[in-house]
Structure formats: structure tokens, C-alpha cells
Amino acid sequence: MRYQRLALIIATVFCFLFILTYLHDVKVSTELQHLKKLVKAYELYASDSKEFSIYVKENKLTELDNLLQKQLQSQVRTKLDAAKTAYRNGNFADAANLLREIKDVENPWLDEVYFYLGMSLYKIGEVESSKLFLATFLDSFSYSIYRKEALLLLKELSSGKMLEKVEETLRLMEQRR
């Protein structure tokens, strides 16, 4: 009877240790899989792969959200620079297409995006769209370095109340100097 109790106690202890070991192994295995996914995500990021954002979202790697944001900002800046180059080279349609792709992406250069989009659309003859983007630009970015140039073009394109508003804004800008 005594040996049976001792055997039962030893078996219970071993069972308990087995369960602890198994649970620890499952935890370590899960962490290892997660780390493998992180390494692959970093490899995609380092190679500047377009699949990086998809991979991070599919695998719910929330700790890489800051890298997602950085990559998005980098892609926006690259497209904006390409659009500005196209604009300066007289390829206004190409510039407008690139800018349309990034006009809805939150970034620190939205004033440039809207300004160059408005200017590009004007140059390719889409005057009404140009007026819309320039007006939005003026309403949203009151301290942009492109403000005066946008106002001058909008003055040329506008009539009625819009023209009066643009002229008033230009007068106020001149008074502040």
C-alpha cells in the first residue's frame, strides 16, 4: 500500500512535469515561428520589396507598424520626386498620374502633392479638376511655400465669388509682408 502511494505520487509529479514541459515547448515553438516571420519581414523590408506591407498585415506583425509607415512615406516621397521631375520636364500627364496615386495617402508633403497635381492638371487642360485641387490646396495648406503661385493661377482661372476670394487672399498676403 505504501509503495502504491509512493508510485502514485511519483507518477503524478512526472505527469505534472511532463505537462509543464509540453506547455513550455508549445510556447517556445510559437515564439520561434513568430520570430521566423519577423526575420522574413525584415528581409523583405531591407530588400525594399512591395510584398513587405502585405506580409506584415497577413501575419499580424503589429510590432512592425512603424516600418510600414516608414516604407509608405518612402514610397510617397519617391513618387512625389518622380512627379516633380516629370513636371519640370514637361511630362504633365505623367506627373498628374503619379500624384493621383498618392493624393489620398497621409504624408507630410500633401501640400506639394495637391499643388503639383493642380498645376499638372492645368497644364494638360483639365481646368475644372485643376481648380478643385488648387482650391483644396489653398483651404488646407495656408502656410505652404507654394501658396502664392497657386493663388496666382487660381486668380487666372476663376470668376465670380471665387475670384473675389482669391484677390482678397492675395491682398492680405501683400499686407503681411
pLDDT tens sequence across 104-131: 988 899 999 999 999 999 999 999 999 9
Number of domains in the chain: 2
Q: What is the pLDDT of residues 9-19, one digit of tens each?
A: 898 999 999 99
Q: Specify whether 119 is located in the same domain as 53.
A: no
144-170 pLDDT per residue, tens: 899 889 888 888 887 788 778 878 878
The answer on 106 and 27 residing in a single domain is no
My answer on whether 172 and 91 are in the same domain is yes
Residue 176 has pLDDT above 80, yes or no: no
Mean pLDDT value of segment 30-53:
90
Same domain, yes or no: 50 and 69 = no
Instruction: Report whether pLDDT(72) > 90.
Output: no
> Per the structure block, which three cell numbers stand in for 174?
501683400
The answer to whether residue 25 scores a pLDDT higher than 70 is: yes
**In a shared domain, residues 87 and 168:** yes
What number is the average pLDDT over the span 95-111?
Answer: 93
Asked whether residue 177 carries a pLDDT value surpassing 70, the answer given is no
Task: Note down the domain range covering 14.
Answer: 1-60
CATH classification of the domain holding 145: 1.25.40.10
Both 168 and 82 in one domain: the answer is: yes
pLDDT of amino acid 102: 94
Q: Are residues 88 and 163 in the same domain?
A: yes
- Is the same domain home to 9 and 74? no
* 45-69 pLDDT, tens digit each: 888 888 988 999 999 999 988 988 8
Shared domain for 119 and 39, answered yes or no, is no
